[in-house]
Structure 1
């Protein structure tokens, strides 16, 4: 009997895949550290629980990859863009300034990719949605309770909710992601109880986004609602054959308006400075972006290595000059992975937007745009762990799967 047959007999791979997926979703939102602890860790320090969790997820999902390698490799070969980018992140540890740190963090990113990949191929989509629904609902309830009874759940600087996160911007960001997930859950809800749960989740998430006082999160929420309205218009006018053209025009003007409004508006200055406590440099963020250009020029083509610039022993100069983040996910990627890595990431989004449009998956388009908007002033794009990395990779792979099924290029054999 072959080793593969022995593994089949000893292990139920679907159960393992579902368990891995549940653990990944849980740690992506709740993390692996106790809540309400805000002490700064040492440069390059590790969380033992975090390492154990992600190593276990990697090894158990690797067993599934071996057992179902034909289906996995067929999907990876067709998807290719995200796979190449993730592998580039891992390989960047070879030339990174701090190879051990870069490899450890890119390993976590690869583990998220591997767990989501095996789950999408092997687990029924309804089961994945049920896992997500239970965990984000639990997270929403615990956040609400902590805000009501735990003083540390309020950001002391802005006197706004931060829940289980470190500060208000992270709180706003996590609930934008939860809002997106509730939108998808609502789309696939088949009974009135689930509709009530998802609608309640949408309302509470929106309230948390508004009360967080996070400008980026609020603007992203408004864009999500505007995009959904545009796509509703597309459906409404479809019968008279002007829906796609009309919604395209609306989308174009929305983007143009946003650009002009952002760079040349006295009204914007009043709103942002008086009501959100920010100036038109996004509270000094544009100065940080300018400061990052010098560091990018030092490793323009290949970068300094995935996630090995901040929170490492040698970044004290950058820390005192800029802080501990560039406050822009795209600049972070360019700095860490260089022009080659940034181009690879751009190819990922171009390909997946194309697939989403072709398969007419509105919520995938909206989710991808929302995640890009979040990273205009925050740095969470393709981090090794966390809610945004999970949601982004899950949306990208789910989007590809829908596209391949739509084109009859992939058949799931469960």
Structure 2
């Protein structure tokens, strides 16, 4: 098949899926397009790459400069997102109090810019990371946050999954690349194979949740085409997971699937009461994994990896030997800059730009204080999700699946505090917005008619709605 025809069919398929979803999974307001565009950029490539103006990272100095074009795109989306939140009249005090540990972590990251060797670079990266919070808050402050989350994740899946397959099969110069060992790897719409595996497993978890959520819906029963669409997309996800050859992504997909299936069983849902105990048990198993060579060798062999986890453990050893301030680290996202990255690029042929462990990455950038704040944020999020699950929340099941899989994913990839879909969905799981006000709901209703609303007066923003309102 000519590749132009394949691309045309793919675009028609994506448009058809989006058109059908205007009823089943509608974009409840025009403002939702802002976080959707942001999420699409995180899950694919910088906008400049699609226009042939992407920055080629060939030297460590390229990380310092960045792409001016992409910087403008992110700033525009961030500015529009802030305008949306301001005009919705969100209660910032409630947001900070409801998410105190998330913002404590972000605040510490901002303070750590002070002792960074490259404070301006760190500051720019922190501003972009703050954009993740703004985008998630736009979703959470919709009149129905569950429908808003579903709409954004669905359209993300419709675009990235089919397009990745077309790029891999018909546009090899975009969808494939030669890795450091000169073997062909597949990346689809992303930049490398692990990123492809990441968007595949996140999309797969969402599709399974969406299928289970809609299983009893009268709309879906009357329209079996929607079920067929989901099954086709799931088969695409599985194909991409195989092509990506990302063991971490595959394990996380299976783990997320098991969580969602288990949460439908009354017995398993009751076990959520003991979530803290299971978490401690998991920590014990991780320690056992490293303490007993036979256990480690068996699991690594099962995953098809070598004992170094494709060189990761060697990098971890080198990083733990680095002479950095153990309490404060090197400053926000500044370790992989300057002489340090030059040293690691000279030593490793694949030119690492991360620790391939989110917790170790947090340590080298933010020190033990940063790690403690991150872990506190994770524990706080787990506690909140536990309450949702005990109440039987289906949306809580999706958030919990994302939460657990992201924690596991960061054991072999460093995705905290980065412009990645992994960090984005963790914030969806972690952030909460308190009960909506009646006046704010009116603002959001105006959004759904094409505008971004207007600023509320203080009197309007304090009018409460009934306690049973949907968050």
TM-score, structure 2 length as denominator? Answer: 0.72
1:393 corresponds in structure 2 to 427
- Residue pair 2:143, 2:470 contacting (<8 A) in 1 also: no
Tell me the CA shift for residue 345 of structure 1. Answer: 0.9
Single out whichever of 267-276 and 90-99 deviates more from structure 2.
Answer: 267-276
- Residue pair 2:94, 2:434 contacting (<8 A) in 1 also: no
SS at match of 2:245: coil
- Residue pair 2:205, 2:257 contacting (<8 A) in 1 also: no
The correspondence of residues 3-402 of structure 1 with structure 2, limited to 5 A, is 17-31=31-45, 32-34=47-49, 39-41=56-58, 42-122=62-142, 124-125=144-145, 126-152=147-173, 153-156=175-178, 157-189=182-214, 190=217, 191-192=219-220, 193-232=225-264, 234-235=265-266, 260=288, 264=292, 269=297, 272=300, 276=304, 278-295=305-322, 297-312=323-338, 315-321=341-347, 323-360=352-389, 361-383=396-418, 385-397=419-431, 400-401=432-433
Tell me the CA shift for residue 283 of structure 1. Answer: 2.0
In the alignment, the residues of structure 1 paired with residue 325 and residue 467 of structure 2 have an alpha-carbon distance, to the nearest angstrom, of 40
In the alignment, the residues of structure 2 paired with residue 71 and residue 246 of structure 1 have an alpha-carbon distance, to the nearest angstrom, of 33
Change (3 A) 1:228 1:132: closer
In the alignment, the residues of structure 2 paired with residue 306 and residue 128 of structure 1 have an alpha-carbon distance, to the nearest angstrom, of 29
Single out whichever of 221-230 and 243-252 deviates more from structure 2.
Answer: 243-252
Tell me the CA shift for residue 22 of structure 1. Answer: 2.4
In the alignment, the residues of structure 2 paired with residue 395 and residue 244 of structure 1 have an alpha-carbon distance, to the nearest angstrom, of 16
In the alignment, the residues of structure 2 paired with residue 409 and residue 319 of structure 1 have an alpha-carbon distance, to the nearest angstrom, of 58
Single out whichever of 347-356 and 71-80 deviates more from structure 2.
Answer: 71-80
Change (3 A) 1:168 1:141: same
Name the count of aligned residue pairs: 390
In the alignment, the residues of structure 2 paired with residue 76 and residue 19 of structure 1 have an alpha-carbon distance, to the nearest angstrom, of 25
In the alignment, the residues of structure 2 paired with residue 286 and residue 149 of structure 1 have an alpha-carbon distance, to the nearest angstrom, of 36
2:6 corresponds in structure 1 to none
Tell me the CA shift for residue 357 of structure 1. Answer: 0.8
TM-score, structure 1 length as denominator? Answer: 0.81
- Residue pair 1:355, 1:403 contacting (<8 A) in 2 also: no
Tell me the CA shift for residue 63 of structure 1. Answer: 2.4
* 1:96-140 Cα deviation digits (max 9, x unpaired): 111011011111000111121133113533244223212321111
In the alignment, the residues of structure 2 paired with residue 129 and residue 58 of structure 1 have an alpha-carbon distance, to the nearest angstrom, of 22
* 1:143-167 Cα deviation digits (max 9, x unpaired): 0111111223234344343212232
Change (3 A) 1:76 1:248: closer
2:455 corresponds in structure 1 to none
* 1:257-277 Cα deviation digits (max 9, x unpaired): 67656764658747745973x
SS at match of 1:122: coil
Change (3 A) 1:143 1:183: same
SS at match of 1:30: coil
1:3 corresponds in structure 2 to none
Change (3 A) 1:21 1:264: same
SS at match of 2:321: helix
Change (3 A) 1:227 1:91: same
